[in-house]
Structure formats: C-alpha cells, structure tokens
Amino acid sequence: MAQDNIEVEIKTKIGKKKFESLKLKLKRISKFKDKIHHIDTYYNSPTKNFLKPKYPYEWLSVRDRGEKLTLNYKHWYPPGKKNTTHCDEYEIVFDSIEQIEKILKALDFKKLITVDKTRWTFIHNNEIEIALDEVKGLGYFIEVEALRNKGDLKQTYNNLEEFLKSLGIKDTTIIPGGYAAEMLRRKGLMKI
C-alpha cells in the first residue's frame, strides 16, 4: 500500500516454524486484517526489457485479489541494486482480467511468470502492515511495510528494520526483485 505512490517495505525469507509462530504472535500484538489468495502475473515490456539489468528494478503485473483486480507498476530504488529500500508504485483497478490481458497482448507485452501466494495481513499500531506470505514454489516470507512515511525514507526503512528485530528477526535475507525475480531465477530464466 503505497503512500503518495511511494512504498517502503522489507521482505525476507523465513522458515515454516518461524512463520507459524509469527502468526500467533502477531494475533496477540497486532490487529488481524485478512487472509487472501493472490495471483500476480508479471509482464515484460516490448520496448524496455525489465530483465536486462542484473537486478531488475521495474515490474508490471496484473494482480488478482479475488474481489479486486489491478494493473500495478513498480520502480524500485536504487535502480539496478541488489538491495532496494523503496519504490514508486502506480496502480489502477479494472473489471476484467481477460480484457486487460487482451490489451497487454495487443501492445506486445509478454507474460514472464505467475506468483501464487496466500497472505495473512496484520496491522501494527496503524503504522506498519505485516504480511505473512506462503508462496507456491518459494516457501515462507514476512513483509513489513510502512503505512506512513515518517520523516525521510531512510528513517522509515530503519523503523521497519527495528520492528523486524522486535519480532525476533535479526538477520534479513532480502529477495532481490521480489517473488517474481526469485521464481525466474529458480526456473533458470534469470542468471542472478
């Protein structure tokens, strides 16, 4: 959920045991929001190969959230770096996956990969959204995202790191490019 089209988040891999214990802990210390099945299909531009940089920093996806369908574009910063801190995020709601897929196909966008996940979402003190993700083919993850960017982006990012530490997550394993890039790497479609 970007604020003013800027999203600050940290996503890291965790084990299944930690995943299950965090679900219980978050139910005690935060407000449970929902459990949703997400299907996100990623596309590559016909004019700008998103996979060309060593660490892709742009993504276009069609997101199916059950009751909500969106077209989403993200541009991560710093561009082309392994570890990113925030992104520009633009999103529009639409009514028909079939129609948006026809438009993308007519414009020569190519499907790259589909990410299928189940997400448990919690809100902590109306400041942080916590998502516990079980991603088919990848495993278990936690994502913490600032609902409001307090101060500057660096301070907001640092606050998220401190929150993760309070949950017992001292070391983070950042997933360069997110779930889509990780799936592409595992399928041998990306080198890094």
Class of residue 88 by CB neighbours under 10 A (exposed 0-12, middle 13-18, buried 19+): middle
Q: What value, to the nearest 5°, has the Cα angle with vertex 126 and ends 122 and 128?
A: 60
Q: Pairing mode, if any, of strands 86-94 and 69-77? A: antiparallel
Q: Which of 61, 23, 22, 58 is nearest to 40 (CA)?
A: 61
The parts of the chain modelled with pLDDT lower than 70 are 1-4, 150-151, 192
Count Cβ atoms within 10 A of the Cβ of residue 86 and give its class: 0-12 exposed, 13-18 middle, 19 or more buried.
buried
What is the Cα–Cα distance from 187 to 8, expressed in whole angstroms?
Answer: 28
Distance CA 142, CA 107 (A): 35
Question: What confidence score (pLDDT) does residue 126 get?
Answer: 94
pLDDT at 151: 66
Structural domains in the chain?
Answer: 6-186 (2.40.320.10)
Full DSSP string of 9-28: EEEEEE-HHHHHHHHHHHHH
From 26, 43, 47, 45, select the one nearest 35 (Cα to Cα).
26
Count of positions (residues) in the chain: 192
Contact 33, 121 (CB under 8 A): yes
Asked whether the whole model's pTM tops 0.85, one would answer yes
E strands within 19-109? Answer: 31-44, 58-64, 69-77, 86-94
What was the pLDDT predicted at 192? 66
